[in-house]
C-alpha cells in the first residue's frame, strides 16, 4: 500500500515538473523571440515576433496577404511578420538586387528560395538556370499567337451566344475566361485540345486544382511544425492519390487521335511533356506549375483587369475608343501591334498593381553566412520576402495607392504622380528566378483584354452585393480571385 502511494505521488510530481518545464520553455521561447532574437530590432506586433501561430492562422484562413499589407501600412517598408521572417515593400529590395537579383560580391543578391515553402521537385526545376531556360523556350509567345487569336475569336463568339440565349442578357465572364485560358494552356503546354470553350465545361483536373492547391498550401504551412506534420503524414497517402487522379496528362498520346490539334505546329510551342531532358517528376512539377499559371492565374489576371475597367467606365471608353480608331478590323490586332499601344500598357500595369494574380509573398532564406539587404546585415537562416500586393498598394510607393489611375504610367503625367515609386511594382517577381511564364501570360492578356469591351456595347457589372474580390490560396501562394457573382451584361456587337 505504501509503495503504491509513493509511486502515485512520484508520478504526480514528475507530471507537475514536466508541465512546469513545458510552460517555462514556452515562456522562455517567447521571451527570447521578442527580446533577444537577432531580428528584435525590426518593427512589427510582438505577438507575431513571439510565435508563428498567428501567421499560420492567417495562412490557413487565406488572409495572410491582406494582413501583411495591413502591417506594412502601419509599420512601413520592413515588417517582422513571424519570428524568423522579414517582409519588404521597398523598391530597393528589387532594384538594389539585394534579395532577388543576380548574386554579387559581399553577400548580396540571388538569395536561395526557402525550401520550407516549396516542394523538392519545384526547387530542382525552377532553381536550375538551364531547366528554367528550357521551360521558357517552350513558352515564347510569338510562336503561339495564332493559337491565341483562334481561341480568343471563339471565346468572344461564345460570349455573344451566351448573352443572346440568356433571358436576362447576363454573361458569366469568369466561367468563360477560365475555359479560354485552360484551352490555350492545353494546346501550348500539352499540345492537346481540352475543348472547354466548345463544350462549355472545364476539364476535371482543372476544376480540382483550386481545392488541391488550398490543401497543399495548408500542408506547406504545417510543415513549419515538424511534430504536427508527422501526424498529418497519416493522411498523406490519401492526398497523394487525390493529386494523382487530378493531375494533368503527361503525354500527348493520352489523348485520342481525333482530339489532336490539326495545326499543332502553329499552336504548340513545344511539348514539355516529351522533352527527354526532364525527368518524369520534373515534368509533373513543371506541368502542374504551368497549367496553374496558364489557366487559373491568367484568368484571374484577366478578370481583375476587366473588372477594374468596368468599374471605371471612363477608362474603358477611352481604351476602346483608342483601339477602335487604331484598328479597323480585329485581324489588325496582332500581338506586336497591341504591345505598342501606350494606353493599353498603362491599363494593364495599373491592373497588375491593384490586383496582381499572385499577391502573396516570395520567400527566400539566407544561408549560413547571412546576407546584406538594404545596407543591413541579415543573420543566417532568416526568411525574406517581398509582398507584392503590399508593395503595389503602399502609400509610401504610390500616390492614391488604392485608386485606379492608368495615367500614372504615361508621360507626361500629373505632377502629384511624379513621385510614385513605379519600380516597386514587379508583378512577376524579379531576377534569375522570376516567373518563367511571364511573357506567355502577357501575350494572352494582350490578346484577350479588350475582347469583352469591344464585343459588347455598354458593358456593366451586376450582382456585386457580396463584394468582388476574395483572397484564395492557390499554388502555394495567396491569390486574388474574382467572386463568381460577377456578370457582364450588354447588347452583343461585332468589332
Return the axis-axis angle of helices 204-222 and 236-246, rounded to nearest 10°: 150
Q: CA 125, CA 43: separation in Å to the nearest integer? A: 35
Q: CA 54, CA 221: separation in Å to the nearest integer? A: 12
Joined grid coordinates for residue 117: 515553402
Q: CA 410, CA 404: separation in Å to the nearest integer? A: 13
DSSP H or E segment with residue 305: helix 298-311
Q: CA 155, CA 197: separation in Å to the nearest integer? A: 7
Phi-psi region of 153 (alpha: psi -120 to 50; beta: other; left: phi over 0): alpha
* Closest C-alpha among 99, 73, 106, 487 to residue 306: 487
Q: CA 442, CA 422: separation in Å to the nearest integer? A: 19
Q: CA 236, CA 218: separation in Å to the nearest integer? A: 13
- DSSP secondary structure letters along 237-293: HHHHHHHHHHSPPS-GGGS-GGGB-TTHHHH-S--GGG-TTS-HHHHHHHHHHHHII
Residue pair 121/95 in contact (Cβ under 8 Å)? The answer is no
- Using CB atoms within 10 Å of the CB of residue 81, give its burial: 0 to 12 exposed, 13 to 18 middle, 19+ buried: buried
User: What 3-state DSSP class applies to 107?
Assistant: coil
Joined grid coordinates for residue 386: 517581398
Return the axis-axis angle of helices 298-311 and 313-326, rounded to nearest 10°: 110
* Closest C-alpha among 250, 117, 229, 133 to residue 125: 133
Annotated ligand binding at 235? The verdict is no
Q: Which residue reads 468589332 in cell numbers? A: 495
CA 162-163-167 angle, 5° bins: 105
Phi-psi region of 265 (alpha: psi -120 to 50; beta: other; left: phi over 0): alpha
Residue pair 389/65 in contact (Cβ under 8 Å)? The answer is yes
Binding-site entries for heme? 435
Binding-site entries? 435
Amino acid at each position: 500500500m505504501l509503495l503504491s502511494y509513493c509511486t502515485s505521488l512520484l508520478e504526480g510530481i514528475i507530471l507537475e515538473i514536466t508541465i512546469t518545464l513545458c510552460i517555462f520553455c514556452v515562456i522562455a521561447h517567447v521571451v527570447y523571440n521578442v527580446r533577444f532574437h537577432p531580428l528584435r530590432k525590426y518593427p512589427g506586433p510582438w505577438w507575431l515576433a513571439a510565435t508563428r501561430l498567428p501567421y499560420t492562422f492567417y495562412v490557413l484562413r487565406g488572409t495572410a496577404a491582406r494582413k501583411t499589407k495591413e502591417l506594412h501600412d502601419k509599420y512601413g517598408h520592413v515588417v517582422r511578420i513571424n519570428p524568423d521572417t522579414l517582409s519588404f515593400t521597398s523598391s530597393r529590395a528589387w532594384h538594389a538586387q539585394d534579395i532577388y537579383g543576380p548574386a554579387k560580391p559581399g553577400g548580396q543578391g540571388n538569395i536561395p528560395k526557402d525550401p520550407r515553402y516549396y516542394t523538392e521537385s519545384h526547387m530542382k526545376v525552377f532553381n536550375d538556370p538551364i531547366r528554367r531556360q528550357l521551360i521558357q523556350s517552350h513558352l515564347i509567345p510569338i510562336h503561339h499567337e495564332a493559337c491565341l487569336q483562334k481561341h480568343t475569336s471563339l471565346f468572344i463568339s461564345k460570349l455573344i451566344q451566351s448573352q443572346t440565349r440568356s433571358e436576362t442578357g447576363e454573361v458569366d465572364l469568369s466561367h468563360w475566361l477560365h475555359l479560354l485560358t485552360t484551352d490555350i494552356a492545353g494546346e501550348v503546354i500539352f499540345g492537346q485540345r481540352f475543348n472547354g470553350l466548345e463544350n462549355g465545361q472545364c476539364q476535371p483536373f482543372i476544376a480540382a486544382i483550386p481545392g488541391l492547391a488550398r490543401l497543399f498550401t495548408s500542408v506547406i504551412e504545417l510543415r513549419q511544425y515538424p511534430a504536427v506534420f508527422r501526424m498529418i503524414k497519416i493522411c498523406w497517402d490519401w492526398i497523394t492519390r487525390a493529386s494523382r487522379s487530378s493531375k494533368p496528362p503527361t503525354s500527348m498520346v493520352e489523348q485520342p487521335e481525333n482530339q489532336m490539334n490539326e495545326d499543332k505546329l502553329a499552336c504548340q510551342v513545344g511539348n514539355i511533356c516529351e522533352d527527354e531532358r526532364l525527368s518524369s517528376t520534373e515534368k509533373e512539377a513543371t506541368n502542374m506549375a504551368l497549367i496553374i499559371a496558364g489557366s487559373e492565374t491568367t484568368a484571374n489576371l484577366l478578370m481583375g483587369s476587366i473588372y477594374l475597367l468596368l468599374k471605371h467606365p471612363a477608362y474603358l471608353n477611352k481604351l476602346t475608343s483608342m483601339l477602335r480608331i487604331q484598328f479597323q478590323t480585329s485581324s489588325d490586332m496582332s500581338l506586336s501591334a497591341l504591345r505598342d499601344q501606350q494606353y493599353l500598357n498603362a491599363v494593364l500595369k495599373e491592373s497588375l498593381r491593384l490586383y496582381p494574380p499572385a499577391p502573396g509573398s516570395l520567400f527566400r532564406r539566407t544561408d549560413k553566412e547571412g546576407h546584406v539587404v538594404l545596407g543591413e546585415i541579415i543573420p543566417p537562416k532568416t526568411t525574406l520576402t517581398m509582398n507584392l500586393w503590399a508593395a503595389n498598394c503602399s502609400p509610401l510607393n504610390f500616390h492614391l495607392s488604392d485608386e485606379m489611375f492608368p495615367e500614372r504610367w504615361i508621360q507626361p503625367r500629373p505632377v502629384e504622380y511624379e513621385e510614385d515609386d513605379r519600380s516597386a511594382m514587379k508583378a512577376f517577381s524579379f531576377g534569375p528566378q522570376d516567373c518563367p511564364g511571364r511573357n506567355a501570360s502577357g501575350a494572352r492578356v494582350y490578346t484577350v483584354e479588350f475582347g469583352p469591351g469591344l464585343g459588347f456595347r455598354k458593358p456593366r457589372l451586376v450582382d456585386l452585393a457580396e463584394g468582388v474580390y476574395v483572397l484564395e490560396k492557390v499554388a502555394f501562394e495567396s491569390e486574388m480571385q474574382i467572386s463568381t457573382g460577377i456578370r457582364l451584361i450588354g447588347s452583343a456587337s461585332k468589332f
